[in-house]
Structure formats: C-alpha cells, structure tokens
C-alpha cells in the first residue's frame, strides 16, 4: 500500500514554505514519526515526519521547491510490522550505517540544502560517524578545487534571511529612527550576582545572568514612560497595558526574537529559565511562530560577541529597542577618586514620531539608575 506524505498545516499568516533539506532519498527505509525533511518558512523551521513505516518510494518535491499546506511531497510504500511470538512486534528493517551517519544537525542540514550536496559521499568524523559542518565544508572545497586561488560562491538567501532583510529595510524607510546612548556602572549588579549566583542556581535550577536584571529594569522604566511601550497603528497611537519583552537570540539562520509574555509578572528566576529555554529552542530551530509574535519592547545584547557600541534597529511595529554591549573595565571618577569599574555602553533606538528626545533620554537614565542601584528593582522604587 502506498501512502502520501503531505505538507502539514502551516502557521497562520504563512501561505507557503520552502523545502530546506531532505534527510532521506528514494529507496531508503523510513520509520513512523522519523523526520523526512525540513520546511523553512519566513520565521520558523518545521519538520515533516513519516506517517508510516516503509520504503521511501518517490520524492515528488525536491530541496528548494516551494510548497503549500496539504501538497504531496513524497510517496511511501508502507511496510507493516509483522507480529512475532509472545505478542512482540518485529522491528522495521534497520537503516544502513551511512543513513545513520546522515542524521544531520540543523546547522549541517542548512549548509547541505543551500549547496544541494549529496551527503552520501561525505565521510563523517563526528561522534558515531555523524557528519559535521567541517566535513561538509571540506567536501565542498574538494569537489570545487577551492583550496587555492580566489574562490567564491553564489547562493540564494534563505527565506528567513530574505525576510529579515526586508523587515530591516522597511523599518529604516518607514520610521523616524534615532538613537540615544548612555553608560552603566554594573559594579553593584556584578557584586550581587557573584554573591548569590550559586544559591540562586540551587534554589531555582537556572543560572543567574545579566539579562534578568535588564528585563526587570526595562519593565520598571516602561511603566514610567508609556510612550516607549506604545506603537503606531495608522493614525493612532496604541498604548499597551502589558509588558511583553522580546529578547533577541542569534542563531546560524539569523536573529530571532522570542517574547517573554507578561514579563512584569515574572520573577527573575522565571525570566532566566524562559530565556534559556527560548535560546535552546531557537538554536535547534524549534521556536514556534506564536513564541515570536507580538512584543512591546525588545532587548538585544551584542556584548556577547564583543560589541562595544552599536545602534540597534527597531523591531517593527515597536517604538523602541534597548541595545546592551560588552562589559569593559574602565577608569571612572567616584567621590573624587579614579577607580576601575565594569562599565557597559547602552543604546536605545526609538521612533521619534512617537517618542520625544527628552523621554528617550530620561527612559535610558531610569534604566541606568535602576541597574546602578539594583536594590531599587526589588523595592520597586
């Protein structure tokens, strides 16, 4: 009996998807619920599992093809699992060693899909014979002879990268974006974190990072400056009575911004745990569209990559974004004395159509004051 493999229902507002990579080829043994291929949309990566045990008889749509929900992408020749003694069920035929080694990581899948490579010819040197990104890169160089000279490659943008480019260009063209800067002395935050981070981790089973301090400070500042938590809709200003904070996460596919819903109601432990979960899901390509939609304010941290200063671009339709940067030991004046303190430059880009310069500056000063005296975050003063 043959069974059709169809594109699953796509998230709301997404009309179609692109086949990013097939993980099986015609003639391969497949098992029920095994991931056959990856589908890339503008924002998320989806997996298409096998509906039955059997043999992949035909691949109807190839890598790079655009498909819609319910469209047939492959045909499987179903193979029933025959019953054996004592009520047990016989196992489906085992895949070959090559097929086992071709269980690619998301990062490798993307490289393979972008360059339309046949991984059956790639020798895996990872654990258990898995194919690594370095294996794929070496195979590409060997096949093109790109070990000397001035090689170059032309590859199409992924759907996600193209969408990011489109949105960033749109923001710069449709908003009156401006950036204001300040610097924060993080001495007190670091002292507090160093004193309690071990107890915090034991009590809450999550590490105490810097982001929870910044989220808490941002929420408190947003309460004082409602325009920063607002957005423009046509000729109206929409003031949001809730605080959904987007936290930018960098992945190999691009920057994604999962949202902490009702961040004002979260404890620091809940903020840290949610951010850690989102980061893991983002890097595995498992974030859902719902987890990235909405948001009233965004925080992005270029400091983890060593950035000292930057001008972050707005996450439309939000009216402001806070940019964190590298913590740098610098000499500063305190009470007439020169001391070395852990300093961070911060930047807030904002839409000048809705936020005045005074409000943008005093908003950032409020965040600075809260973080330089973190007890105020706990006392909400």
Rounded CA separation 167/313 (Å): 10
Rounded CA separation 290/226 (Å): 25
C-alpha 108 chain-centroid distance? 17
Q: How many CB atoms lie within 10 A of CB 156?
A: 10
What is the spatial order of strands in the sheet that 54-59 belongs to?
2-6, 72-78, 54-59, 29-30
Q: Where are the alpha helices (DSSP H) in the chain?
A: 97-101, 106-115, 133-144, 159-174, 187-204, 211-224, 268-283, 289-292, 357-372, 375-379
Rounded CA separation 254/57 (Å): 35
Q: Which of 16, 53, 352, 359 is catalytic?
A: 352
65 annotated active-site:
no
Q: Which of 53, 233, 356, 359 is catalytic?
A: 356
Polymer length of the chain: 381
Rounded CA separation 367/349 (Å): 14
356 annotated active-site:
yes
C-alpha 208 chain-centroid distance? 20
- The catalytic residue positions are 352, 356
């Amino acid at each position: 009996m043959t069974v059709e493999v169809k594109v699953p229902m796509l998230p709301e507002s997404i009309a179609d998807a692109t086949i990013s990579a097939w993980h099986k080829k015609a003639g391969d043994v497949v098992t029920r619920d095994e991931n056959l291929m990856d589908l890339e949309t503008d924002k998320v990566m989806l997996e298409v599992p096998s509906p039955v045990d059997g043999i992949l008889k035909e691949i109807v749509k190839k890598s790079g093809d655009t498909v819609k929900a319910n469209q047939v992408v492959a045909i499987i020749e179903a193979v029933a699992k025959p019953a054996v003694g004592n009520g047990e069920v016989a196992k489906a035929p085992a895949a070959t060693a090559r097929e086992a080694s071709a269980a690619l990581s998301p990062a490798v899948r993307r490289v393979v899909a972008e360059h339309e490579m046949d991984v059956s010819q790639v020798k895996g040197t990872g654990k258990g014979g898995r194919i690594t990104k370095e294996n794929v890169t070496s195979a590409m160089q060997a096949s093109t002879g790109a070990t000397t000279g001035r090689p170059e490659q032309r590859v199409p943008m992924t759907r996600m990268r193209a969408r990011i480019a489109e949105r960033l260009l749109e923001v710069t063209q449709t908003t009156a974006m401006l950036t204001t800067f300040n610097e924060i002395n993080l001495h007190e935050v670091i002292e507090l974190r160093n004193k309690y981070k071990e107890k915090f981790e034991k009590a809450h089973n999550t590490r105490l990072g810097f982001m929870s301090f910044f989220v808490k400070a941002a929420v408190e500042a947003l309460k004082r400056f409602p325009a920063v938590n607002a957005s423009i809709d046509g000729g109206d200003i929409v003031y949001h009575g809730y605080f959904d904070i987007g936290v930018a996460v960098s992945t190999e596919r691009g920057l994604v911004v999962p949202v902490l819903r009702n961040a004002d109601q979260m404890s620091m432990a809940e903020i840290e745990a949610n951010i850690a979960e989102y980061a893991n899901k983002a890097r595995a390509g498992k974030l859902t569209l719902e987890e990235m939609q909405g948001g009233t304010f965004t925080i992005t941290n270029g400091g983890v990559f060593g950035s000292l200063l930057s001008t972050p671009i707005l996450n439309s339709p939000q009216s402001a974004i806070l940019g964190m940067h590298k913590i740098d030991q610098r000499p500063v004046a305190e009470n007439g004395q020169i001391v070395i303190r852990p300093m961070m430059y911060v930047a807030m880009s904002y839409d000048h159509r809705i936020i005045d310069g005074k409000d943008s500056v005093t908003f950032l000063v409020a965040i600075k004051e809260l973080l330089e005296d973190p007890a105020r975050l706990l006392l909400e003063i």
